[in-house]
Structure 1
Amino acid sequence: MSTAVQQEPVLLISDLCEQLEDYLEPEQVAEVYRAYLFGAEAHEGQQRLSGEPYIYHPLAVAQILAELRLDHESLVAGVLHDTLEDTRVAKEDIAAAFSEEVAELVDGVSKLTQVHFSSKAEAEAENFRKMMLAMARDLRVILIKLADRLHNMRTLGVMRPDKRRRIARETLDIYAPIANRLGMNSLRLELEDLGFRALHPMRYRILSKAVQRARGNRKEVVARIEGGLKARLAEEGLEGRVEGREKHLYSIYRKMRDKHLAFQEVFDVYAFRVVVDRVDTCYRVLGAVHNLYKPVPGRFKDYIAIPKANGYQSLHTVLFSPWGVPIEIQIRTRDMDRVAEAGIAAHWLYKTGNEAHATVAQTRAREWLRELLEMQQNAGNSMEFLENVKVDLFPDEVYVFTPKGQIMELPRGATAVDYAYAVHSDVGNTCVGARIDRRLMPLNTRLLNGQTVEIVTAPGAHPNPAWLNFVITGKARTAIRAYLKDLQADEAVALGRRLLERALSARGESLEGVDRQQLDRVVTELGAEDPEGLFRDIGLGRQLPALVAQALAPVAVGGGETSQPLTVRGTEGMVVSFAKCCHPIPGDAILGFMSAGRGLVIHRRGCRNVVEDRHGPEKWMHVAWSDEASGEFPVELRVEVANRRGVLATVAATIAELEANIENVDVEDRDGVHSALLLTVSVRDRVHLARIMRRIRKVESVARITRY
């Protein structure tokens, strides 16, 4: 099936100038015209895939910006946005011809064309990071980019099918969510519609036809509901504009896909918007419609008192209609309606420099950008930054209160740790507990609307690697990873030094006794920058300590492995890790395996992987637990029980009495009479484990317990 988009009418510069005269000064319109002449000369001889002169695209981008009523610098940058990337014009040329401000805007939108990347994904991620950082300096960068993407999507039909799908996927994954995050609803809806059409043309066509068929049956009901709403407002002496809202195709598709609903279940919801003059009128209209039709319990949301993260404000309610289908109603003021459609572009007051005059959407956008700057400083690379931003682009908000009564918005599913990092990175890095509604709760507790959250911190505390298993905000994830990377580098150096010392000791040598020139030569040969870099490579498993020791001390004096085994503490974090196949705990007989990138991985001696991999003995080493080994270690237990009511609760209570946590439970049904409980339990050592197993054996319904 062809997905070619209908050719847009050709836009002329005279049409654009006429449009701009409505709100810009004559000299500013003249500046935009001069930019057109500059751009037309720069793009001379270039054509788009459709065959039209290239300058038509920048003109169309400028028109989209004009519809948003942006300032003349944005329009000039919109006309010139492709000159740095696709012509010989330099940034300095634009600055000289127009202004430094325009040159910075154009540069912010331009891709990194002169830098070589190892993959297309890496290049796209780095270009995205560059654009987001430019956007953090000047919000207009993203508005120009969104206008550029919107026109490209409108003319996507001339692209190859594979490229069309790639661009559509990127639009749905990144650009439409950014437009939503900035409150630009009308632009988001068009991006989603065009992206859906290009990515899933068959689904789009089927759904579109279904909507057209169903629309005819709805007209009478919509007209009657609309008439009833208007009549009730007139009775109450309330003035407002009532209009039926057509459900967006991509919204219908996403609800059907995510909630596994039939088309009729999604489409049989009648949506209306009531736009009034003042905020207090919104609440009076709410009372009037609740008296007209009964409200559905739990479906009222007050986004006026507590705006969404993107600055959106409205009252939302759902009513029971006499026709047996729900009615969704949004009630808002005219200003709120403008902000809901245009977001940060509404009332563009960029030049005032006064945040007091900015819209709620602009203020929220700047708060988000400040967080982006912090995230990018901590992100290891562009790919990680892009993934973390994607996480933040799909928030379904939860609103919680600080101890002082301030409201904080977090994505749905956020935990106490996410909240701690939202308050401040230092609070997140040192948090040890949380009081939720004055009760002490675990840090992985998911937050609910209306809770009051207080974070408990300790000066010597630091992030736990396990937090990465449950945090969901990009800011928290980036900060935890940044801390662990620094910690891992330090630990890798210390571990590498100890491993090399042990390998040299087996040869009758020591690191202090090695000639410095010999050490520098081996460091260079093995591609490390300095001795510390070599120790880090050994600690991370990239170099084998025995081979490095042989290079440093070629003549073996000792008689093999005579030194004491390497001691392993339980708190060594990321570089010394514990195998998930056998879950070693203090007291087990263990072996260490050097794994590239993971460092020293500790296995139990009886682990099947140890038996299978002993053909590479140079990677295995004798290790022993340190006397100071501490912490909690997961261990798997298999408990065979009789199928009786409450047996799982009894076993869980027994484990809790012995100060152990259950991390995971699986139930394996055997014959209807017996079941097997597969438990992952955190223990301190073998003695602790033995106590737990003895107590569980005494439970009446337990037939057998084994370490799994």
Structure 2
Amino acid sequence: MLTIDSLSHRLSSYLEPDQIRAVKRAYYYAEQAHTGQYRRSGEPYITHPLAVANILASMHMGYQSLIAAMLHDVIEDTGISKKAIGEQFGEPIADLVDGVSKLAKIEYESQAEKQAKNFQKMAMAMAHDLRVIVVKLADRLHNMRTLGALAPAKKRRIAKETLEIYAPIAHRLGMNDLRIEYEDRCFTAMHPLRASRLQAALKHVRGNRKALVENIQDAIENRLQREGIPALVIGREKHLYSIYNKMRAKKKSFKEIMDVYAFRVIVEDIDTCYRALGAVHNLYKPMASEFKDYIAIPKINGYQSLHTILIGMHGVPIEVQIRTKEMDELASRGIAAHWLYKSVNGKDHGEESQARVDRWIQRILEIQQHAGNSLEFIENVKIDLFRDEVYVFTPKGAIVELPAGATPVDFAYNVHTDIGNACVACRINDRPAPLSQPLQSGQKIKIITSEASQPNPNWLNFVVTAKARSAIRHYLKTQHHMESVELGRRMLARALANNDLSLDALAIDQFQYVLDLNKLKTRDDLYEQIGQGKIAAISVVKGLHPNADHDHSLTPITIESPDGLLISFARCCRPIPGDQILGHFSTGKGIVVHRETCKNIGDLRSKGENINPINWSAQVTGEYYTEIRVEVNSERGIIASLATRIAETRTNIEGIQVAERDAEHSVITLTIAVKNRKHMADVMRRVRTMRSVSSVHRGKN
């Protein structure tokens, strides 16, 4: 059983005697504070902080982190204040303890929101002091190790949260050992039957493979010895959750996944890594496409290693990872090894891993600023947390790390938000490519920008990085606000002009009167409310001028293009330039444009809705969707012939619906993109000349 003495003995291998005494003092302080408190398993509560400190000791964490582990539940559970801890153990430790305590407080309406808010707090805590998160990860690991005493539903809930939040954080901080244990314990808690069956199968296979593993290991060791390369060769075990995940993701059987043999080769220095690679490539034939050099280009979490796959005797695939002892430590412990290896080969690995984590935390904080709420924030961060990487080059040769599946738009936002916002096209390896094309490692990416450009809402369908997603959403929200303000200003100016008043001539106190009347702070707030249809422009005019005329017929708003976020076109009647139109002010949506003949306009009028005249600008541009209904004699290939005929007029087809009228006749409804009524008439004329077509007319609602 773990005691404070056995922990002290462990600490003596790397801490100073006075530091160990401080840790013991914190233990006795916590033991006294938690007197009379017990865990769900019936053990005294102090066993938990002691176990957490022991996990941190296995990572060789500093004495302050160990003291924080001892005291991490004191503020929350015993009523002892942060100030009291500060007086006893100093401010830095009080801050650490407070940071860990704050990560598990407030209750929320839903589990999802609680999880989201917790993660937001973690992001802030990480930015302040990374040790807070390391203590929290150790705390969660001990909770996972002692899940046994909980009800099955609670076990599953804690396991799910650990898998979705804590395992990815451990992965991102490079703490591989921790991540693997999290994943295996979560898998066992969530799917006990699957886990036990897989465990039994693994045990069985291990026995059968023993001789072959030993043969391959001997062959590698002998070859390295012959080349004069001192190395440690270890057979690598796949862990339960990774086997289960591969079986599901790659739809492979247990046998296929277990057919691969994995080894790790640990050598003295980087130079020897490459010499060892040459030696194993001489021993067995390598698979050319499977070599990865993570020493030259480390993974996003700082992981370094050479990976290669060899074809052994009888065509057996052999995975080999070659790395130095320091790289192995960093791969297992990640950021926690930062305190252990301050300087290796004149290179400060601690600083490097800290800088990498700082960049990641900075990115999380940027996402937090752009996110609308905690749930949107966590959705974005989950996307960012758990992905493999691709490494691509800027035109100047700088390396950019991106998650697998990233597109040129993700690349653009990674370089700078302004470049993402202004992106119009790209070149991959000097050739034009679509903005939605997933990037491959090693490609050179050039982004082409235009000052007139702005983010396209469709990009949200294919971007994969959280930074791109949150920046696009943020831009669209801001754009929506700006368009609301501009539209509202135009509408108020028009309503005032109808009553021989001018926006510029209004006195400041007149405006203030209207703002106070509507409980608003600024002019822009007023314009936005008018633009979104929440306040009628005429009611503002009436506030200023009680005898105002209600007639809006003088200066209708004009439509210049289909791109405004606050002007949308009704699907019921699909208006296009040339149609007589009216605008319905819909709260929150701005103006919805209908044809004058649309029967829905009559319904809206009868309900007293806000309907206004609208005109097409003389220079109206863009494409507008409309529907044409084509009655045809049913015959083979008629839809293809129809599509070809329409394509000849350089018109895009956005949708086709077919309804059978009877055995010989069908009605085909096509949604097409046209510039105006003349363009639509040209399309209908071309379709009408087809032999199988009996009639063509425009869709009505």
Give TM-score, length-normalised by structure 1: 0.84
1:221-241 Cα shifts (integer Å, max 9, x gaps): 323332333333334443322
1:265-323 Cα shifts (integer Å, max 9, x gaps): 22332222222223233333333333433333422222222211111122222233434
Residue 47 of structure 2 aligns to which amino acid in structure 1?
Y
Aligned mates of 1:675, 1:26 — CA distance in 2 = 90
Cα gap change, 1:498 to 1:66, in 2 (>3 Å): same
Equivalent residues in 2 for 1:469-484 (5 A)? Answer: 469-484=461-476
Q: Is residue 381–residue 466 contact of structure 2 (8 Å, CA) maintained in 1?
A: yes
Cα gap change, 1:227 to 1:96, in 2 (>3 Å): same
1:200 to 179, 186, 191: 191
Q: Is residue 229–residue 272 contact of structure 2 (8 Å, CA) maintained in 1?
A: yes
Aligned mates of 1:438, 1:677 — CA distance in 2 = 43
Secondary structure in structure 2 of the residue aligned to 1:410: strand
Cα gap change, 1:62 to 1:693, in 2 (>3 Å): farther
1:395 to 373, 376, 387: 387
Q: Which residue matches 2:376?
A: 384
1:421-479 Cα shifts (integer Å, max 9, x gaps): 21122332333332322234443343222111122334554434333333221112222
* Ranges in structure 1 where 5+ consecutive residues have no aligned partner: 1-8
Residue 379 of structure 2 aligns to which amino acid in structure 1?
E
Aligned mates of 1:107, 1:626 — CA distance in 2 = 62
Q: Alpha-carbon deviation of 1:177?
A: 1.0
Equivalent residues in 2 for 1:80-99 (5 A)? Answer: 80-99=71-90
Secondary structure in structure 1 of the residue aligned to 2:153: helix
2:406 to 411, 414, 420: 414
Secondary structure in structure 2 of the residue aligned to 1:110: helix
1:139-174 Cα shifts (integer Å, max 9, x gaps): 222211111111111112223333322221111111
Q: 1:127 aligned to 2:118?
A: yes
* Ranges in structure 2 where 5+ consecutive residues have no aligned partner: none
Q: Which residue matches 1:227?
A: 218
Secondary structure in structure 2 of the residue aligned to 1:471: coil
Q: Which residue matches 1:106?
A: 97
Cα gap change, 1:325 to 1:600, in 2 (>3 Å): farther
Q: Which residue matches 1:4?
A: none
Secondary structure in structure 2 of the residue aligned to 1:298: helix
1:616-658 Cα shifts (integer Å, max 9, x gaps): 4515544333334444556688999965999899789857xx5
Q: 1:537 aligned to 2:523?
A: no
Q: Alpha-carbon deviation of 1:114?
A: 7.6
Residue 109 of structure 1 aligns to which amino acid in structure 2?
V
1:507-529 Cα shifts (integer Å, max 9, x gaps): 99987899998976775675544
Q: Higher Cα Rg: structure 1 or 2?
A: 2
Q: Alpha-carbon deviation of 1:381?
A: 2.8
Q: Is residue 343–residue 362 contact of structure 1 (8 Å, CA) maintained in 2?
A: no
Q: Alpha-carbon deviation of 1:98?
A: 2.1
Name whichever of 273-282 and 251-260 sits farther off.
273-282
1:456 to 440, 448, 451: 448
Residue 225 of structure 1 aligns to which amino acid in structure 2?
I
1:38 to 16, 26, 29: 29
Q: Is residue 575–residue 593 contact of structure 2 (8 Å, CA) maintained in 1?
A: yes
Q: Which residue matches 2:420?
A: 428
Q: 1:404 aligned to 2:379?
A: no
Q: Which residue matches 2:557?
A: 566
Residue 255 of structure 1 aligns to which amino acid in structure 2?
K
Cα gap change, 1:431 to 1:397, in 2 (>3 Å): same
Aligned mates of 1:447, 1:216 — CA distance in 2 = 42
Cα gap change, 1:623 to 1:156, in 2 (>3 Å): farther
Q: 1:346 aligned to 2:373?
A: no
1:260 to 251, 255, 270: 251
Q: Alpha-carbon deviation of 1:207?
A: 2.3
Cα gap change, 1:309 to 1:605, in 2 (>3 Å): farther
1:44-100 Cα shifts (integer Å, max 9, x gaps): 333222222222222211111111111112112222222333332333333332232
Q: 1:496 aligned to 2:523?
A: no
Cα gap change, 1:651 to 1:74, in 2 (>3 Å): farther
Name whichever of 343-352 and 311-320 sits farther off.
343-352
Aligned mates of 2:342, 2:305 — CA distance in 1 = 28
Equivalent residues in 2 for 1:515-554 (5 A)? Answer: 528-529=520-521, 532-543=524-535
2:289 to 292, 298, 303: 298
Equivalent residues in 2 for 1:629-668 (5 A)? Answer: 629-631=620-622, 658=650
1:331 to 314, 322, 327: 322
Q: Alpha-carbon deviation of 1:571?
A: 6.0
Secondary structure in structure 2 of the residue aligned to 1:434: strand
Aligned mates of 1:123, 1:82 — CA distance in 2 = 19
Q: Is residue 342–residue 350 contact of structure 2 (8 Å, CA) maintained in 1?
A: no
Q: Is residue 621–residue 675 contact of structure 2 (8 Å, CA) maintained in 1?
A: yes
Cα gap change, 1:240 to 1:118, in 2 (>3 Å): same
Name whichever of 19-28 and 342-351 sits farther off.
342-351
Name whichever of 294-303 and 594-603 sits farther off.
594-603
Q: Which residue matches 1:218?
A: 209
Q: Alpha-carbon deviation of 1:342?
A: 1.0
Q: Is residue 514–residue 552 contact of structure 1 (8 Å, CA) maintained in 2?
A: no
Q: Which residue matches 1:487?
A: 479
Q: Alpha-carbon deviation of 1:128?
A: 1.6
Cα gap change, 1:554 to 1:645, in 2 (>3 Å): closer
Name whichever of 530-539 and 382-391 sits farther off.
530-539
Cα gap change, 1:87 to 1:589, in 2 (>3 Å): farther
1:337-359 Cα shifts (integer Å, max 9, x gaps): 1111111112416999x994526
Residue 326 of structure 1 aligns to which amino acid in structure 2?
P
Residue 451 of structure 1 aligns to which amino acid in structure 2?
Q
Residue 274 of structure 2 aligns to which amino acid in structure 1?
Y
Q: Is residue 338–residue 353 contact of structure 2 (8 Å, CA) maintained in 1?
A: no
Q: Which residue matches 2:358?
A: 366
Secondary structure in structure 1 of the residue aligned to 2:440: coil
Aligned mates of 1:119, 1:522 — CA distance in 2 = 40
Cα gap change, 1:71 to 1:506, in 2 (>3 Å): same
Name whichever of 250-259 and 443-452 sits farther off.
443-452
Q: Is residue 642–residue 701 contact of structure 1 (8 Å, CA) maintained in 2?
A: no
Secondary structure in structure 2 of the residue aligned to 1:22: coil
Residue 47 of structure 1 aligns to which amino acid in structure 2?
Y
Residue 210 of structure 1 aligns to which amino acid in structure 2?
A
Q: Alpha-carbon deviation of 1:210?
A: 2.8
Q: Which residue matches 1:3?
A: none
1:174-201 Cα shifts (integer Å, max 9, x gaps): 1111111111111000011111122222
Cα gap change, 1:30 to 1:288, in 2 (>3 Å): same
Secondary structure in structure 2 of the residue aligned to 1:243: strand
